[in-house]
Structure formats: C-alpha cells, structure tokens
Amino acid sequence: MNVRATNCMLRVILFGFLAACLGACATTPVSSSAARQAPSARLLAFQERFSNTTATLIVTRDEGLLGGG
C-alpha cells in the first residue's frame, strides 16, 4: 500500500470511530409537562420570583445514559 491509500484508510476508520462514539451518546429530550421538579434540597440560588421580571428560564435534563434520567 502506498502512503496516500493508508492515510485515506486511516481517515475513514477515524471518521467511523467518531461517528460510532457520538451516536452512542444519544439522549432523548423530555417535554416540560413530563419533567419532574427538582427536590427543594437540591436547589441552590435564585429561586425567588420578582414582579418586574420579563423572562423565565426553564432548564430540563435529557433522558438517557448521560442525561440523568
């Protein structure tokens, strides 16, 4: 084999390996209505509501191996 063919083969193998690794980390999103509230003991800060707020931030974790579900 020449060097060019070897480099091409290594790139194909590396791309396949990376695609397999990223595909294995797939998670599924959880809808806001199905998500559970965090226990109050695990809430840290910024929990009070103010009357002059103009935005709300909602954070939900994904379901899956690394999503904590």
Mean pLDDT by 10 residues, the chain (69 residues): 82 89 73 84 82 79 62
CA 47 to CA 64: how far, in whole Å?
A: 27
pTM: 0.38
Within 8 A by CB and 6+ apart from 42, the residues are: none
**Residue 67 has what pLDDT?**
46
DSSP helix/strand/coil, 28: strand
**Residue 14 has what pLDDT?**
94
